A and B are shown apart, each in its own frame.
Chain A
Amino acid sequence: MRVGLFVPCYIDQMYPDVAVATLELLEGAGLKVEFPAAQTCCGQPMANTGCNDAARPLAARFLDLFDPFDYIVCPSGSCTSMVRNHFSDLVGNDPRLKSIQSRTFELCEFLHDVHPIDFSGNRFPFRVGLHQSCHGLRELRLGGDSEQMIERPDKVRSLLAQVQGLSFVELQRVDECCGFGGTFAVNERAVSVAMGEDRVQDHLDAGAEVMVASDMSCLMHLWGLISRQGSPLAVMHVAQVLAGRSPTVSVKNSIKPKTGNAV
């Protein structure tokens, strides 16, 4: 069985450890994982802006690169949803599309539904605030959301819940959007920042030490605010927690005096 590792462009360039952690999890489960290095970006920024002409060749490249794999696994709900739910707008007439869509999985979904791994031997003695990323939640249905009255297994949470010492803090708004939204973060900067600040505050109020999410894009936005505020909150991708990484608080890049404390 061949697993193709689908690494979102910003994870490749800015958060390589998230991809390494993902790889460790998959290889640890005995899977043969390959990284088709010609991959770049699935085209989501362009498609979300409405520029389908710019996104189309990227979707077509994705099909070429990932068609040979039995499974395609990605540490991002948003990019997975792009392939599964939005590629039909771009390359809907490609005969490979349906099959590739059915083989493409978000990491937690893959570890929950397709190839379960036991994480009960792991330890992570921290209070975790789980940020349920919108696309994972409402486009991939990785869990039940607060709007719909439908019980669904919470795939991200149930993986984390296996880890010893990890405790969840309870947020006031369990699945409020962080305000990233791709180009929205820049196009609607005021709203985006207000949403992010409120999201961070909810985690701080709940007493979280580490904010964990299944999408690094949400965490990039939230960390940017946390770092600027100097708040004592670490952010980690779920893959990093499951792969046994430790949290670090960093305000290294901040242009304001640092006040953050290591957890």
Chain B
Amino acid sequence: MATVSEHPEKAAAYIADRSRSRWHDGALWFVRSKRDRMAHSLPEWEQLRSTASQIKAHTIANLPEILQQFEANAKARGVHVHWAADAQEHNEIVLEIVRKQNATRVVKSKSMLTEECHLNPHLEAGGIEVIDTDLGERIVQMRGERPSHIVLPAIHIKKEEVGETFAKYLGTEPGASDPQYLTEAARQHLRSKFLEAEVGITGVNFAIAETGGFVVCTNEGNADLGASLPRVHIACMGIEKLIPRLVDLSVFVRLLARSATGQPITTYTSHFHGPRPGCELHIVLVDNGRSRIRDSDEFRSALGCIRCGACMNTCPVFRRSGGHSYDAVVPGPIGSVLSPAADTKQHRSLPYACSLCGSCTDVCPVKIPLHHQLLTWRQQIAAQGLLPVSKTAAMRAGSMLFQHPRIYALAGALGRRALRWLPKSWVYNRANPWGLDRDLPEPPAESFRSWWQTNRQGTSVDEGMKSKEAKNGK
């Protein structure tokens, strides 16, 4: 049974260490700034976004046909294609393939899908050693954490802390924090794991229906080693990773790395078109709630997400509160759209972890209207009765007040007078969360409506408030 996770508390805990929160914000802002420069360098940037958005809309609309086309073409290339309705089925399929090899050692490159399905604990429970080979993922794996960001999984960890972790697990010099030294230690460690591994698992960035091939993008080349050294390669992908044609790939490859890290292209963009001689290539196509999102008019376009993480880098909430505050496999704006789709009650606070600034919507390379979808989630959460009564009651009371202009004007006048005359301790206390860190505005002597009546002699339903307001003023 999942407990309901509340973003505000987790965010406050992270921000309590203000210098860490600032450092995290700065690190991600640096990435976003690089993204801005790279996007600026392409005059056709917005055209690329529109094209990508259209391709994805088309793909999602025709997903069953495109999936079947992919399956047929992949099979023709000698690939074993598996279908999984949910996470459990996915995990069982993967464990079954590994067991058939009598294998016990698996290396795995970055795959948010396997995170989503919690594959590692499933394999480990089956007696299999799983080593995450992406450097950031390996660091969080050693520390027993989950990635805090989908592209930069260890962005929340400082290099000194990596040094501590490596000293503990890899025997590096205690107190070492030189990135080159630490990276070299990780490289030697991972190399031995690659050589021992019997099965390599990778994610999939794009699968191409027309060819039956797929593409894996990494910056470390770890997916290539994982897919090339062991005899068996299992690629796990959500069904939304499809694109129809090879030419479509060019659009996404150009958008992905620029949006993610501000690189023109990922260091390794590897194409897989069938198994090597004498080896096996498996693809597991996973639904796990995607069809449900596809069926919803409000959230369908969220399936177009290419997992670049740009919305996280730009989100002012994510930057300050850190990825773990979302308590979800995919954090940030897109995670706050996808997570409530998987479990609305558990993730009901996430659509509210957003100031509705709209930056995510404008940065998204496939034009998912993220902040509008977050607003739509709020409507659904309220409609499902998942809002605390305190909130719904306050909104209902506000609505009643605003439906009655005279009472509203009177309440305003009383409120302003109270702000002027009440002792500070009555105004600034725990019951007023605004006032804990911020001063309240200085109340004016009269409202605009009162001013208008005095100075413009307008006729209004407020007649009669004038004298009261005037008395309230000095």
* A residues apposed to B, CB below 8 Å: 7, 9, 11-17, 19-20, 34-41, 43, 45-55, 57-58, 61, 86, 89, 134-135, 137-139, 145-150, 173, 175-177, 179-196, 198, 220-221, 223-225, 227-228, 250-255
A16 & B378 in contact (Cβ 8 Å cutoff): no
Per-residue A-contact encoding for B346-368, CB less than 8 Å = 1, 0 else: 00000111111111011100000
Question: Quick check: A134 and B412 within 8 Å, CB to CB?
Answer: no
CA–CA, A187 to B405, complex, Å? 27
Given the interface pairs A150-B46, A193-B437, the reply to whether A184 lies near B354 with Cβ below 8 Å is: yes
Task: Establish whether residues B15 and A192, one from each chain, have CB atoms under 8 Å apart when the complex forms.
Answer: no
Residue contact B29 to A49, C-beta cutoff 8 Å:
no
Asked if B447 contacts A194 (CB within 8 A), the reply is no
B8 at interface (Cβ–Cβ under 8 A)? yes
Tell me which of B70-78, B133-141, B224-232, B396-404 binds A: B396-404
Chain B nearest Cβ from A170, distance in angstroms:
15
Asked whether A186 lies within 8 Å of B434 as measured between CB atoms, the reply is: yes
Which residues of chain B are near A175, meaning CB under 8 Å? 359
Query: Number of residues in B with C-beta < 8 Å to the partner?
Result: 84
B399 touches A46 (CB 8 A): yes
Q: Shortest distance in angstroms between B173's beta carbon and chain A's nearest beta carbon? A: 35
A144–B25 CA distance with the chains assembled, in angstroms:
23
Residues 169-180 of chain B, each 1 if its beta carbon lies under 8 Å from chain A, else 0: 000000000000
On whether A187 and B352 interact (CB within 8 A), knowing A46-B399, A177-B357, A254-B439, the answer reads yes
Q: Which residues of A contact B412 (CB under 8 A)?
A: 12-13
Decide: A228 and B438 in contact? CB cutoff 8 A: yes
> What is the chain A residue whose CB lies nearest that of B437?
A193
Chain B residues with Cβ below 8 Å from A191 are 8, 11-12, 15, 316-317, 320-321, 353
Contacts A49-B395, A147-B363 given; does A180 touch B46 at CB 8 Å: no
Chain B 33-55 against A: per-residue CB contact (8 Å), 1 yes, 0 no? 00010011011011000000000
Q: B40 → chain A, closest Cβ, in Å?
A: 6
Question: Which one, B123-131, B235-243, B457-465, is touching chain A?
Answer: B457-465
Contact residue among B46, B382, B434 (Cβ-Cβ distance under 8 Å from A148): B46
Q: A37-B458, A250-B442 are in contact. Are A134 and B396 (CB under 8 A)?
A: no
B317-348 CB contact bits vs A (8 Å, 1 = yes)? 10011000000000000000000000000000
* Residues of B with C-beta under 8 A to A150: 46
Given contacts A54-B399, A194-B15, contact A20 B451 (CB under 8 A): yes
Query: Across the interface, which residues of B come within 8 angstroms of A86, CB to CB?
Result: 375
Q: Which residue of chain A is the closest to B44 with respect to CB atoms?
A: A149
CA distance A194 to B315 in the complex (A): 13
Which residues of chain A come closer than 8 Å to B373, judged between CB atoms? none
A179 CA / B120 CA spacing, docked (Å) = 38
Please, which residues of chain A bring their CB within 8 A of the CB of B358? 134-135, 137-139
Query: What's the Cα separation between A28 and B453 when bound, in Å?
Result: 19
With A20-B451, A34-B458, A184-B355 as known contacts, state yes or no: A223 contacts B441, CB within 8 Å.
yes
What residues of chain B lie closer than 8 Å to A13, measured between beta carbons? 412, 415-416, 447-448
CB distance from A213 to the nearest CB of B (A): 14
Which residues of chain A have C-beta atoms less than 8 A from B401's C-beta? 40
**Residue of B40, B351, B352, B436 with most partner-chain A CB within 10 A:** B352
In the complex the two chains form, what is the Cα distance from A147 to B314 in whole Å?
Answer: 9
- Can you give 13 contacting A-B residue pairs, CB < 8 Å? A16-B451, A19-B451, A35-B448, A38-B462, A43-B402, A51-B399, A134-B355, A139-B358, A149-B42, A188-B7, A195-B316, A224-B441, A253-B442
CA distance A112 to B21 in the complex (A): 39
Alpha-carbon separation in the docked complex, A190 to B382 (Å): 23
A74: min CB distance to chain B, Å: 13
Secondary structure at the B interface, as helix, strand, loop or mixed, is helix
**Closest B residue to A250 using CB positions:** B442
Cross-chain contact A58 with B399 (CB below 8 angstroms): yes
Partner among A49, A185, A186, A187 whose Cβ is within 8 Å of the Cβ of B382: A49
Contacts of A251 in B (CB 8 A): 439
Cα–Cα distance between A205 and B40 once the two chains are bound (Å): 26
Known pairs A192-B355, A194-B21 / 17 extra A-B pairs, C-beta < 8 Å:
A12-B448, A35-B452, A40-B401, A43-B402, A48-B378, A49-B378, A51-B387, A51-B399, A134-B358, A150-B46, A175-B359, A188-B352, A190-B11, A221-B438, A228-B439, A255-B428, A255-B439
Bound complex: CA of A55 vs CA of B392, how far in Å?
A: 11
Across the interface, which residues of A come within 8 angstroms of B160, CB to CB? none
Chain B neighbourhood of A137, CB < 8 A:
358
Asked whether A181 and B357 contact (CB < 8 A) given A37-B460, A57-B403, the answer is: yes
* Closest Cβ–Cβ distance, residue B208 to chain A (whole Å): 27
Q: Nearest-CB distance from A28 to chain B (Å)?
A: 15
- Say yes or no: A189-B362 contact (C-beta < 8 A), given A194-B18, A194-B320: no
Assess A228 versus B317: contact at CB under 8 Å? Given A45-B398, A54-B398, A149-B45: no
- Contact flags (1/0) for B240-258 with A, using CB distance below 8 Å? 0000000000000000000
A37 lies within 8 A of B461 (CB): yes
Q: Of B316, B383, B437, which is within 8 A of A189 by CB?
A: B437
A148:B362 contact, CB within 8 angstroms:
yes
Give A77 to B155 CA distance when docked, in angstroms: 35
Q: How far is the CB of B435 from chain A (nearest CB, A)?
A: 8
Beyond A52-B379, A179-B316, A191-B15, whether A40 also contacts B352 by CB under 8 A is: no
Give bound CA distance, A195 to B15, whole Å: 11
| CB of B433 within 8 Å of the partner chain | yes
Identify the closest chain A residue to B9 (Cβ).
Answer: A190
User: A residues within 8 A CB of B355?
Assistant: 134, 177, 179-181, 184, 188, 192, 195
Q: Which A residues are CB-close (under 8 A) to B314?
A: 147
Most buried by A among B382, B408, B428, B437: B437
Nearest CB on B from A62, distance (A): 10
Q: Is the CB of A173 within 8 A of B439?
A: no
The answer to whether A7 and B448 have CB atoms under 8 Å apart is yes
- CA A104 – CA B212 in complex, angstroms? 52
Nearest CB of chain A from residue B426's CB, rounded to whole Å: 12
Cβ-defined contact, B438 with A224, below 8 A: yes
Q: Quick check: A188 and B316 within 8 Å, CB to CB? A: no
Q: Nearest chain B CB to A89's CB is how many angstroms away?
A: 7
**Which of B21, B42, B433, B449 lies at the interface centre, i.e. has the most chain A CB atoms within 10 A of its CB?**
B449
C-alpha spacing A38/B357, complex, angstroms: 30
Q: Which residues of B contact A176 (CB under 8 A)?
A: 316
Closest Cβ–Cβ distance, residue A84 to chain B (whole Å): 13
